[in-house]
Amino acid sequence: MVRTSLLAAGFLAALATFPALAQAPAPAPVPGWAVGRPEGSTLAPHAPRLTVTPPDQVPVGALRLPPGFQAEIYAHGIPGARMMAEGPNGTIFAGSRAIGRVYAVRRNADGTTRTSIVAQGLAQPNGLVMVGNSLFVIAVNRVLRYDNIEANLDNIPAPVELTAAFGLPTEQEHAGNHHWKFASLGPDGRIYTNVGVNCNVCETDRDKFALLVSFNPDGSDRRIEARGVRNSVGMAHHPVTRELWATNNGRDWAGNDWPNDTLHRIRRSGEDHGFPYCSAGSADPQFNAGRACSEFVQPAALLGPHTAALGMRFYTGTMFPEQYRNQIFIARRGSWNRERLSGFDVAVAHLDAQGNVTRVEEFMTGLRDDANQRFLGRPVDVQVARDGALLVADEQMGAIYRITYRQ
Amino acid sequence: MLLRLLAAALLAAAVPEMARAADAARGADLAAHRCVNCHGDNGRSQVPGVPSLAGQPADFITVQMILLREGIRHAPAMNPFAQGLPDRDIEDLAAFFASLPPGPPDDRTPKDEALFAAGQALTGPRHCATCHVADYGGRAQIPRVAAQREDYLVQAMIGYRDGTRAGVDTQMNSAVIGLSNAHIAALAHFLAHLD
């Protein structure tokens, strides 16, 4: 601190020595995240809640579901809980962003759950995936593997460090933008994840950022699965066709209603989905660079402007009615870069036999209060539990809901 | 490490399962023992490098204390004070400091009009007031920067720029990207001299 204040004094002295510099600092570049931002806008990200929310304040009673479905609190007291993975013995793991923790949720004999902390102090450990008995945690560029995790929950051993093997871009290379990960295990045994764009919207290295990528679990053989995907924080493979599908967050500061967040179907590895030239199938107002949007893969579905479509899973259970089988549940965390709130719900994308999206409908609502323009919670991920229930992580409430169906 | 994990788990389990409002009076008692030596009796720091907390939004203090407790934000002088603090204490401390009237430190440097103007000129292109609001009083998780200690503002912005500090979202890291030390000095001078 003393050193820093001495440095500060040094800068001030330097400025005094060069009065021209003091009077007219060279114009600093507009930061990438603010490109296109209109003068006078006061939109800013919503404050997170990083303290424990008592269960009687978790708004499970406000949730609205189709007839026959019920919601209950599965776990609580896990601030900032986000992306989930289920171990072979039924432990639900949940990552986080700001609070830097990975949680474990275990079920007691009486059906209640207990929570514990697997890891903490990590930079945005949002990407979780189970490979066999091993839990992989991806925290920005850091990749950790916790072997035989469910047998060691009460005495967590040091993880295997795979950071160098994966070689993901660092937080600095991302310039603080879209560096948190989602992780999924492909039917080919590879780990699939995202590398978000290093700005809001910009010309960037399209072999390095705005990608879906896959790796062998040891970090070798990186492969670009999709290019021009701005920031995907949700992906899964279709249980029948084995195609990769992914959600994507559209750019900010291009208006309340453009672009939509999108759902992407990756038929072949390496295809270009168009960002930054095109978003949601139409030309970017600043970064189109004369490209025809028809030359890029079109989104499989539009998911609403600024809804923050994040974690997604195909419903592979049997508890829910047949119409939900192999359909895509999508958690929409909810907007900040929009004058009226959008999202804050769980949606379902219905597919036909050819794998085309026929419609997107709301499934779990009640957290967005349109009349008062406030929200009660922020769904960030869904997970199909082994019993067919749908788990929904609410980051704002530090809770996981369990949705079941009874006729 | 293991002990810390266990301690954190026990603390999490020990949080009373009932609704409660943050208690500023209790926060004042807590602060008297551990905070005011550095942050000032009235929440206005007289110590170089230590921020004033008076009038900061409660959400901002809470969130930063969590980041300090969890070791996500590195401040060697501060991390030990945050370590192991229950959520309840943090929320009460936040309510206390948020309730204090904000103001400049006693040792604020004289205002340099040219430097002030240079800093002010940067706030437009950098959209500072969008989040910190027009009077730079902050809101929710976004801090009050008006009349903050100039040396602290320099240190914070350098930390965000150089990636040694992260917020709860990444806006601030990208907000200061590409700023020179001279830009930061000018911005800090401008903000420190707002009342």
For position A5, what pLDDT does the model report? 42
Contact assignment for A31 to B168 by CB distance below 8 Å: no
CATH code: domain of residue A123: 2.120.10.30
Interface residue B121 vs chain A (CB under 8 A): yes
Q: Is residue A146 part of a domain?
A: yes
CATH number of the domain bearing residue B83? 1.10.760.10
Q: Which residues in chain B show pLDDT less than 50?
A: 1-19
> Within a domain: residue A43?
no
Residue A24 lies in a domain: no
Report the SS3 class of residue B106. coil
According to the model, what pLDDT value does residue A82 have? 98
Nearest Cβ partner for B173 among A21, A54, A176: A176
Determine whether the interchain pair B180/A28 forms a contact, defined as Cβ–Cβ distance below 8 Å. Answer: yes
Distant-in-sequence, close-in-space partners of B22: CB < 8 Å, separation ≥ 6: B58, B91, B92, B94, B95
B37 in reach of chain A (CB within 8 A)? no
**Burial degree of B18 (CB within 10 A; 0-12, 13-18, 19+):** exposed
**Placement of tokens 């432990």 in the chain:** A91
Supply angle C-alpha A257, A301, A341, rounded to 5: 35
B43 is a domain residue:
yes
ipTM over the 0.90 cut-off: no
Do B118 and B84 have their domain in common?
A: no
B23 touches chain A (CB under 8 A): no
Per-residue pLDDT, A328: 98
Residue A32 lies in a domain: no
Quick one: pLDDT at residue A40? 73
Q: Quick one: pLDDT at residue A333?
A: 98
**Number of domains chain A contains:** 1
* Total H helices, total E strands in chain B: 11, 0
Please indicate if any CB of chain A lies within 8 Å of the CB of B12: yes
Minimum-distance CB partner of A22 among B9, B50, B118:
B118
Q: Would you call B87 and A51 a contact, using CB atoms and an 8 Å cutoff?
A: yes
A215 located within any domain: yes
Binding-site sequence positions of B? 35, 38-39, 78, 128, 131-132, 172
Does residue B14 fall inside a structural domain? Answer: no
Question: Which residues of chain B have a CB within 8 Å of the CB of A25?
Answer: 118, 121-122, 180, 182-183, 186
The rounded distance, in Å, linking the Cα atoms of A76 and A394 is 9
Per CB-CB distance under 8 Å, the chain B contacts of A24 are: 118, 121
- pLDDT for B14 equals 36
HEC readout, A285-299: CCCCCCCCHHHCCCC
Spatial separation of the C-alpha atoms in residues A146 and A137, rounded to whole Å: 8
Determine contact, residues A311/A331, Cβ cutoff 8 Å.
yes
Q: Give the pLDDT confidence score for residue B124 in this predicted structure.
A: 87
Q: Which residues of chain A have pLDDT under 50?
A: 1-27
In this prediction, residue A9 carries a pLDDT of: 43
Residues of A in contact with B91 (CB under 8 A): 51
pLDDT of residue A20: 38
CA distance A299 to A360: 13
- From chain B, pick out residues whose CB is under 8 angstroms from the CB of A27: 125
Contact A199, B173 (CB under 8 A): no
Let me know if residue A378 belongs to a domain.
yes
Those residues whose C-beta lies under 8 Å from the C-beta of residue B162, and which sit 6 or more positions away, are none
Total of domains in chain B: 2
**In the prediction, which pLDDT does A31 show?**
64
By Cβ distance, the residue of B49, B131, B139 closest to A1 is: B49
DSSP assignment of A70-133? EEEEEE-S-TT---EEE-TTSPEEE--STT--EEEEEE-TTS-EEEEEEE-S-S-EEEEEEETT
B126 touches chain A (CB under 8 A): yes
- The answer to whether A301 and A360 are in contact (CB under 8 A) is yes
Task: Tell me whether strands A160-161 and A142-146 are parallel, antiparallel or unpaired.
Answer: antiparallel
Give the A:B interface size as CB pairs under 8 Å. Answer: 197
Q: Of the candidates B55, B73, B99, which is a domain's last residue?
A: B99
Which domain range does residue B187 map to? Answer: 113-192
Our CA-based measurement puts residue A41 at a distance from the nearest CA of chain B, in whole angstroms, of 6
